[in-house]
A and B are shown apart, each in its own frame.
Chain A
Amino acid sequence: MSAVTTPVAALDAAVPQAPARPASATWRRFRREPLGIVPLALLVGLALVALLAPLLSAAPASYGPDVLVAPGSGHWFGTDSLGRDVLAEVVWGSRQSLLVAVAASAIAIAVGTAVAVVGAYVKRLDTLVNVVVDLVLALPVLPLMILVAALVGPSTTTIIAVVAAFSWPEVTRIVRSQALTVVGLPYVDAARLMTSSPWWIITRHVLPAVTPVVVVSVVVTASRAVLSAAGLAFLGLGDPNTWSWGRILYEAQQSGAMSSAWWLTLFPSLAIFLLVLSATLVSTAYNDARNPRARRSRTRRSTIGAGR
């Protein structure tokens, strides 16, 4: 099957056919890019922190004796306005933050890809899909998230649902262009002759072809989900009973401590920042690694730069 799928992996946005790029070549290229490997390691690290939280730190207590203590030997990240250890909050908060990010993006990806692929394959539905996606994309995302979260009530399910509901159209848009290209290829027409089951064609040909784009999308959507969830938590619309990075920031804001206890803002912000930064860098590096045009452009550099 590799002979059928690999040419497809090299195609994006109307570019003349490039030579076959197996996945191992992509990985080799990716591995050589420091701006790809280091963030990937960071991402893995963060995931490990979330998974191994109980081993890394005791769960945050409900209160502690030393209130608003700056970072020091007793508490590496300091304590908050109820005397709770911020390091514990950040470590355990990673679970909720990553859970929301992963769950929301998973739903968004699933829905978005499904819609895009179906729309690309079934020509009649394509215009409808296009129109619906444009309409939903025109909606103001954050205000609507605030509206729904406030009315339904803050909870983990609400946040995941709300973030997913507003992330899927962008996924559809990205996946759709790739899916359209694939569906227009001759071998798909050939496949249509061989079988009357659209489902088989979609799963065996179209989906694998759009997978690289989806991978990039996953990472980007997930990191945006973290920011959205943190933003909602900051406004008081996050889950108040589970620790998350957004909740640390929210409690700091509510207790008026943001202006004086810098450690309350710094550490959760740093965590969010690292997650989003690594995710974006990894996806850019991945994109660069599998993109043949990038290679061609690189050889151009010498002609242009030399003239200066």
Chain B
Amino acid sequence: MPVAWLVGRKLVRALLTLWFAVTVTFLLLRLLPGDPALALASPNMTAETRASILASYGLDKPLVVQYGLYLGQLVQGNLGTSFTQSIPVTQVLGARLPWTLLLTGASLVLTVVLGIPLGVLAASRRGGVLDRLVQVVGVTGQSVFVPSVAVLLLFAFGVRLGWLPIGGAYDTGVYGVAWYGDVARHLVLPALSLTLVQLGAYVLTVRSTLIDALGQDYTTLAQANGLSPRRVLWKHALRNALLPATTLIGLQLGFLVGGAVLTETVFAYPGVGRGIYEAVTQLDYAVLQGAFLLLAATVVVANMVTDVVYGLLDPRVSTR
């Protein structure tokens, strides 16, 4: 199949995903109960004030018209203006996105760096004590309730030991190079919390797919060709086993960007997840629509990156 056609199909898929996310958000906001005018003005406002507020955000027009206008704006790259802050939505989200990317990125890197060795360890000693231990640790991580872990970490490392700061992305009053160090210090606990939750699934996936790969024909063949068992393990089986793990990372990225809201709440980390929660409490439709579009875009990008990495790893995928 020609590459152009494949790429084209992926693009259509991506656009469809974005459109779907935007439309679902748009409809949910306007069809479910909730009056943004009340959220903006004091409850004692006159009917006239309320009408003018709704009009200024175009909320008085029929649904179809609003939708058309919104899509038109989107295509031009205009995400609208925040209801509560009267600044462009891009500015609101732009302030939060870097922190989300940082937190998500750190957590994913940690997950991969810790997950692969642990998965390999478990798979190569399948059925043994270490394997069981890794399995239990993996499943444990998936089963904890994030805020509980977060508060525990804060108490232990922040208050009792005093090694790490409590909340926020960085301290004011720190400048220049030291600032980067400060950001890193503030990143440790939130990233750790997130990693603990993500790690489990990743380790287990690596483990199980590696087990499968080790049982495949090509592994037997490689051994028959005289390759040492260790070489077989690391070079060949792992490479193939990482394929589903890569897909998993892609999925986790999509989840993390919006799903880190609990972590961001407890650690006061100013990411997009918490931003969405605040926008919901303020019924800021514009920010919510923009945020969900952003999340969908992240998922799309994550899928694309996953496909690329998949292509790199999978020798059977031909792209000529």
A-to-B contact residues, CB < 8 Å:
35, 131, 134-135, 138-144, 146-148, 150-153, 223, 227, 230-231, 234-235, 249, 253, 258-259, 265-266, 269, 272-273, 275-277, 280-281, 284, 293-294, 296-298, 300-301, 303-308
Are A269 and B148 touching (Cβ within 8 A)?
yes
Instruction: State in angstroms the CA–CA spacing of A150 and B33 once bound together.
Output: 9
Q: A283's closest neighbor in chain B, by CB? A: B139
Q: Considering the complex of A and B, which 4 residue pairs feature the smallest CB-CB distances, nearest first?
A: A140-B258, A307-B229, A276-B143, A269-B148
Are B292 and A140 touching (Cβ within 8 A)?
yes
Q: B200's closest neighbor in chain A, by CB? A: A280
| Interface contact tally, CB-CB below 8 A | 154
Choose among A280, A284, A306 the residue with the greatest number of B CB atoms under 10 Å from its CB. A280
| Cβ–Cβ < 8 Å partners of B211 in chain A | 294, 297
Instruction: State in angstroms the CA–CA spacing of A126 and B280 once bound together.
Output: 36
Instruction: State in angstroms the CA–CA spacing of A144 and B299 once bound together.
Output: 15
Given contacts A147-B28, A308-B229, contact A296 B148 (CB under 8 A): no
B-to-A contact residues, CB < 8 Å:
13, 16-17, 20-21, 24-25, 28-29, 32-34, 124-127, 132, 135-136, 139-140, 142-148, 151-152, 155, 204, 211-212, 214-215, 223, 228-230, 232-233, 254-255, 257-259, 261-262, 265, 273, 276-277, 280-281, 288, 291-292, 295-296, 299-300
Are A152 and B33 touching (Cβ within 8 A)?
yes
Are A144 and B28 touching (Cβ within 8 A)?
yes
| Cβ–Cβ < 8 Å partners of A273 in chain B | 140, 143-145
Q: B204's closest neighbor in chain A, by CB? A: A284
Given contacts A143-B273, A249-B145, contact A305 B124 (CB under 8 A): yes
The DSSP consensus for interface residues of chain A is: helix
* CB of A171 to closest CB in B, whole Å: 15
Given contacts A140-B258, A151-B28, A249-B148, contact A235 B230 (CB under 8 A): no
Are A253 and B147 touching (Cβ within 8 A)?
yes
Task: Identify which of B142, B288, B296 contacts A147 (C-beta below 8 A).
Answer: B288
Are A280 and B143 touching (Cβ within 8 A)?
yes
Instruction: State in angstroms the CA–CA spacing of A45 and B274 once bound together.
Output: 36
